[in-house]
Amino acid sequence: MKFGGTSVATPQRLRAVAARLIARHDAGDEVVAVVSAMGKVTDDLLALAHEINPEPPEREQDMLLATGEQVSIALLAMAVQAAGADAISFTGPQVGIVTDAVHSKAKIVAIDAACVGEALAAGQIVIVAGFQGRTTDGEITTLGRGGSDTTAVALAAGIAADVCEIYTDVDGVYTADPRIVPAAQKIDVISYEPMLEMAASGAGVLSMRSVEFARNHAVTIHCRSSFTDTTGTIVKEAQPDMEDAIVSAVTHDRGEAKITIRGVPDRVGIAARVFSTLADANVNVDMIIQNISEEKKTDISFTAPQTDLHRVTQALDACMAEIGAREWVIDDDIAKVSIVGAGMKTHAGVTAKMFQTLADAGVNIDLISTSPIRLSCIIAADQMDDAVRALHTAFGLDATDVIEEATPC
């Protein structure tokens, strides 16, 4: 049972989570909880780090951010104990979450959950800090924003749990972010592939790594509300009777930037040089477009997370002179809107409909990328919300009778 930041934001909410854990334990289940830092603590710690040092060294930043989750686990264990049940808290390193050494977005490479098994056998509720691990050298690492989901799924796989329940501040995975599209509908069941594409293209309700991990280890995820008992969204292996919606969701991502390298010599090996330098700097490049060359010079544009921009600039500075390009420019006033659907690969006309819908909404498309079950367009950031709503309507995803509610807290 994983609880996100909003779900553990106050002492009152921590008590409510404790009550949920105890109820499940009393019902006869063995319970492992994974928790995030309280409320906006991770954001606050990041802001503090940047106030002290505009480019915080990533090792120290991980050391700092990992404290957020450690506060939550200790308080939650105390809340369970105050309610008369037995609980024990563990940090990520304590439960043997071993990662690679890429600070700030480390990947889990192994889990030795022996101490979890021992505590469960002793009848304790086990509470684990999300988002953190350690390298084989004992260095503290964090798993990237939203990484507590990954901890939860990885632990669920490590202890062969029946299900990994991800409790959050919405009722489940919706056809679009319900904060932007009031007419969005909860999806009851979705298979790993479309969920992975949704998470990868911005549906932050589940982190991409967690879905990837779930798919690779066949972990069933139940994404649900921590404020109600309503059934949420089940993410699992595709079943023969599961319907493949042509478009199951519209997603958005405001967290990327577009980088354009101008006047790049159109020669064999140049793209390889640029992108291997970026890969060596651990930049997650997303879309890439290279224009037709004129007089043996071309422009290359690509997108990358805004959080990777300092690595991008360092990497480009390092190879600009060698590749002989004129300059590079960054535009971070962009957004990515995507449509995702497993049925898309067998249906014609989806691309045309997406482009026409954006045109009708007066939205100019800058870059385009596709996968067999996703279509993404880069557009101006200030048109993102309208574009998402227009696509949601055009692909028939709007709920027919929407009751407008206050934004969930």
Q: Which stretch binds ligand ADP (CB under 6 A): 77-85, 164-172, 347-355, 371-379?
A: 164-172
Strand order from edge to edge, sheet including 140-142? 108-111, 97-99, 132-134, 140-142
Q: Does 167 help bind ligand ASP (rule: CB under 6 A)?
A: no
Q: Give the number of residues in contact with Mg ion, rule: CB under 5 A.
A: 2
State in angstroms the smallest separation of the CB of 394 from ligand ASP.
32
CA distance 65 to 140: 10
Q: Does 42 help bind ligand ASP (rule: CB under 6 A)?
A: yes
Assess contact for 82 and 118: CB atoms under 8 A. no
Q: Does 305 help bind Mg ion (rule: CB under 5 A)?
A: no
* Interface characters, 133-152, with Mg ion (x: CB under 5 A): -------------x------
Single residue of 18, 25, 36, 38 touching ligand ADP by CB under 6 A = 36
Q: Transcribe 220-274 into DSSP letters.
A: -EEEEESSS----EEEE---TTS---S--EEEEE-SEEEEEEEEEE--TTHHHHH
Cβ closest to ligand ASP, residue 30 vs residue 149: 149
Cβ closest to ligand ADP, residue 64 vs residue 388: 388
CA distance 34 to 116: 12
Single residue of 146, 147, 158, 194 touching ligand ADP by CB under 6 A = 146
Question: What DSSP designation does 343 have?
Answer: G
Q: Does 145 help bind ligand ASP (rule: CB under 6 A)?
A: yes
Question: What tokens does 81 get?
Answer: 């104990």
Please state the length of the chain.
Answer: 409
Which letter, b or e, does each residue of 260-286 get, where b requires 16 or more Cβ atoms within 10 Å of its Cβ? bbeebeeeeebbeebbebbeebebebb
Single residue of 5, 144, 194, 232 touching ligand ADP by CB under 6 A = 5
Q: Give the number of residues in contact with ligand ADP, rule: CB under 6 A.
A: 19
CA distance 180 to 174: 11
Q: Which stretch binds ligand ADP (CB under 6 A): 3-11, 52-60, 88-96, 322-330?
A: 3-11
Q: Does 131 help bind ligand ASP (rule: CB under 6 A)?
A: yes
CA distance 100 to 136: 8
Chain position carrying tokens 């690679």? 100
Footprint of ligand ASP on residues 11-40 (CB under 6 A)? 36-37
Q: Does 168 help bind ligand ADP (rule: CB under 6 A)?
A: yes
Question: What DSSP designation does 137 have?
Answer: T
Strand order from edge to edge, sheet including 125-129? 87-90, 125-129, 32-35, 2-3, 164-168, 221-225, 233-236, 189-191
Cβ closest to ligand ADP, residue 96 vs residue 194: 194
Q: Does 133 help bind ligand ASP (rule: CB under 6 A)?
A: no
Q: Does 30 help bind ligand ADP (rule: CB under 6 A)?
A: no
Single residue of 39, 56, 92, 147 touching ligand ASP by CB under 6 A = 147
Cβ closest to Mg ion, residue 4 vs residue 178: 4
Residues that bind ligand ADP (CB under 6 A): 4-7, 36, 146, 168-170, 173-174, 176-179, 203-205, 249
Residues that bind ligand ASP (CB under 6 A): 4-5, 36-37, 42, 68, 130-131, 145-149
